[in-house]
Amino acid sequence: MPKTVLYIASSLDGFIAGKDDDLSWLGPFQDVDYDYEAFFSRIGAIIEGRRTYDIEIKNGWEHAHPVPLFVLSRDVPARKSERADVVFTHDDLAGVLASAQEKAGPKDVWIEGGANIAQQFINRGLVDRFILTLVPVFLGEGIRLFDNVLVRSSLSLQEVRRFDRGLVQLVYSMKKE
C-alpha cells in the first residue's frame, strides 16, 4: 500500500539547513551512496513548501525529480515553472495529499520539505514513514526539523542503515493508536 514518506537529511544537532537556508554542509557527502535511487524509484509524487521550491529553482534543481510536484504556497511565483506537472496550491493538507496520492498511483508520496511543511504533516498525523539520514556535522544554528511538532507520537523503528563517512539512516513507521 502506498505511503506518505518524510525523507530528509538532518545534522546531528537537528538542523535541515544552516543559517540563511545554507545547504553547503551537505556538499562533502554528495558522493555517498545512501540508496537514494532505490528510494526515489518508489516515489510517484512530491509535496514541498514554497521556500524549498525557491531553493531548488535557485540551485538549478527544477528538473531533479521527474514526478508531479505539489508546492504549498500562498501565491504563485512570478516565474512560471517550465514543468507542466508543478501545481501551486494553498489547499488543506489532507486535500493536497489526496491529490498527490491520486497522481502517484501505486507509488509513495514524498514529503520533501522544508521543516515547516514536515511539521504540519506530522502534526496532522499524515506521515506514515520517516526516513531520516543523520549527517555527522553540528551546525549550531539554522532551521530545526522538529521545532514545532506539537503532537505526541509513537514511532516504530523499522531499520537502521550505516553508510560511508558516518551517515546513518533511521527508518521509522508511525504507530497507529
Whether the predicted model's global pTM rises above the 0.85 cut: yes
Task: List the pLDDT tens digit at each of the 177 positions of the chain.
Answer: 899 999 999 999 999 999 999 999 999 999 999 989 999 999 999 999 999 998 988 888 877 888 999 999 988 776 667 788 999 999 999 999 999 999 999 999 999 989 999 999 999 999 999 999 999 999 999 999 999 999 998 999 999 999 999 999 999 998 876
> Per CATH, which fold does 17-174 belong to?
Dihydrofolate Reductase, subunit A (3.40.430)
The single residue listed with the C-alpha cell 513548501 is: 49
Could you tell me where the DSSP H helices lie in the chain? Answer: 36-40, 50-58, 93-104, 115-123
Three cell numbers at 28?
Answer: 562533502
Residues 6+ apart with CB under 8 A from 110: 5, 7, 43, 45, 46, 47
